[in-house]
Structure 1
Amino acid sequence: MSSNNHIRQYKHLTQIIFFDLEFYVPVKDRESERKDLRANPFQEGHFLMGGTFTKKNPLLPDKKLNTIDFWIWRYHDNETVLLEAIVTYLENVWNEIKEKPDQTDLIIAGIGVSRADLGYLYSKSLQHNTRSQDHLFSIFYQLRIIELESMAVPFFSNKNGLLYPKTTGQLLDLFNINRERKSGTEVWGAYDGRDFKSIEERNSNEVTDMIQIYDRMVASIHSQNASIRFSSDVYSKLMSLVKKDKDKNYIKHRYTHNKDSHVLKAGVGISERYKLFKIMKTAKFLK
């Protein structure tokens, strides 16, 4: 929220909030010929159930996570009070950011966060008059957005020339995250049955998965830059630093010796690159 042209990223202030929301859709609006977003903040009977927010300082060495969740059943089924709590939380994080006027803006990240969660939250906050219109716009639309479903596009082949956002299932498969993916529509029935625990657990798991996708995306980018080709001397140094035989064999099977260098084999996938990166990181070969 700064007009300063010289933006900096202070380690203790640079923050990403990973979050995911759950919306309630009444029975009459659940059927649709298209698999599109059926939740609509302006339709009668639709409301925000809540969500999970996890704050991460990516530039700090310990990368400690701070998680908080908000659910309408904890606020006496009052959507206005729920929204007040979420807006206050975001205001508090923004205030931390504004400790330094040249600190980069608050970052949010998620899957579909730009086309669903952010707009829904903003619209509902307006309807319930949680803050003035200009203040709400400032809170929500000066955020920097990391949209994982779009950022992952270059990791896929996209052979037909169409750059199209990826599904959660595609992201979980790509980054080798073992999580059974159920339909998001199940939360409506769970709410009808007052099974709040399953909604909270599902939502929390989704945010955990987002963070893993982000971390593995970052690691994959690093691994592509760091491990495509090594000179023989550097390769020997790497192997001397790696302690476990299984890790050494993993590296050997993915590199080919070419004259005076070792080159990553064609066809080594994202998950394999990620594991290579982790091995090299553990061996303190990479900083």
Structure 2
Amino acid sequence: MKSFVLRPGKCRVIFFDLEFYVPVAGRDKEGFLYNPWDKSCKFLGGSFLVANPEKDLNLDTEINPGRVSSLWLWKSGSERKLLEDIYDLLKSAYDLVYRAHQGKVSPILCGIGISSSDVPILFELFKRYKILSNSDAFSFQNKFRIIDISQLAITTFNNKSSFTYPKSKSLILQKYLPEKKFDSGVRVWDLYDQGHTSAIEGRVIDEVLCTRHCYMKILSDVRTFKYLEKNKKRLTSVYSDSSSI
């Protein structure tokens, strides 16, 4: 049997951020206001950076904003076409990883808060517009793995309570990119109402690149933690040996 070899250059991490529109009449409720099955709401689209771990996941590597794929309702013409384009992007990344690893490795979907919003919403939309059947949507979703930065970042904060909770985008940016300030997501609704679609595009590309940066900084912190852990074990061993003399 041929042995399995991980090929990082043939893996993919898809950093992305989606935007949704809720009409004024639906903004007076609590919680997450967008519902993929509510026809009064709109799926606006989003931006995607399909990253090669060997080339793109290094803090010294600058990513040109032109590398980010932006797929938007005002360019696609309809939500269905927009979703078909997003599906094609995801399927292309999956096919590359699958062929290189015989299906033993999955592409990664990465973003802030995506496990409770962007990912489930996207696959509900695939079902709503019959781009995928319910069964196929479930199967396709499970061909990916999710790294939610809001959960990954928990370990890098001083959690005084035994109750842990996903970190907000604002807290994560404050820690890793304090110079970056993003208005509330509600601002996107105002920009859309005003027809400032280019401002939405620029904002979301910036958010995706910031997400990648936070991912890399968190990974750097984890490596530092592991180094300190290893060093502590070494010092403990040395102390133990010296005490027994």
Listed as ranges, the matches of 1:105-254 within 5 Å are 105-226=106-227
Matched-pair contact (CA < 8 Å) for 1:24–1:188: yes
Matched-pair contact (CA < 8 Å) for 1:41–1:123: yes
TM-score, scaled to structure 2: 0.83
Name the residue aligned to 1:41.
36
The structure-2 alpha-carbon separation of the partners of 1:9 and 1:161, relative to structure 1 and needing over 3 Å to count, comes to: same
Per-residue CA deviations over 1:97-129 (Å, capped at 9, x if unaligned) read 121305411111101111000111111111111
Matched-pair contact (CA < 8 Å) for 2:34–2:41: yes
Give the counterpart of 1:29 among 26, 30, 39. Answer: 26
> What's the offset of the Cα at 1:14?
1.2
> What's the offset of the Cα at 1:211?
0.5
Q: Which amino acid aligns with 2:208?
A: V
Q: Which amino acid aligns with 1:27?
A: V
Aligned length: 223
CA distance in 1, matches of 2:123, 2:68: 21
The structure-2 alpha-carbon separation of the partners of 1:177 and 1:139, relative to structure 1 and needing over 3 Å to count, comes to: farther
TM-score, scaled to structure 1: 0.72
> What's the offset of the Cα at 1:164?
0.5
CA distance in 2, matches of 1:91, 1:62: 21
Unaligned runs of 5+ in 2: 232-245
Matched-pair contact (CA < 8 Å) for 2:16–2:110: yes
Q: Which has the higher contact order (CA 8 A, sep 6+)?
A: 2
The structure-2 alpha-carbon separation of the partners of 1:154 and 1:79, relative to structure 1 and needing over 3 Å to count, comes to: same
Q: Which amino acid aligns with 1:160?
A: S
> What's the offset of the Cα at 1:176?
3.8
The answer to whether the aligner puts 1:19 opposite 2:20 as a matched pair is no
Matched-pair contact (CA < 8 Å) for 2:150–2:167: yes
CA distance in 2, matches of 1:223, 1:104: 26
Compute the RMSD of aligned alpha carbons: 2.3
Name the residue aligned to 2:237.
none
Q: Which amino acid aligns with 1:162?
A: F
CA distance in 2, matches of 1:59, 1:134: 34
SS of aligned partner of 2:33: coil
CA distance in 1, matches of 2:207, 2:140: 24
Name the residue aligned to 1:279.
none
The structure-2 alpha-carbon separation of the partners of 1:28 and 1:174, relative to structure 1 and needing over 3 Å to count, comes to: same
The structure-2 alpha-carbon separation of the partners of 1:122 and 1:62, relative to structure 1 and needing over 3 Å to count, comes to: closer
CA distance in 1, matches of 2:103, 2:157: 36
Q: Which amino acid aligns with 1:56?
A: A
Q: Which amino acid aligns with 2:53?
A: P
CA distance in 2, matches of 1:203, 1:86: 15
Q: Which amino acid aligns with 2:38?
A: Q
Which stretch shows the higher mean deviation, 79-88 or 65-74? Answer: 65-74
SS of aligned partner of 1:12: helix
SS of aligned partner of 1:114: coil
CA distance in 2, matches of 1:48, 1:8: 39
Q: Which amino acid aligns with 1:58?
A: P
The structure-2 alpha-carbon separation of the partners of 1:155 and 1:137, relative to structure 1 and needing over 3 Å to count, comes to: same
Unaligned runs of 5+ in 1: 231-287
> What's the offset of the Cα at 1:131?
2.8
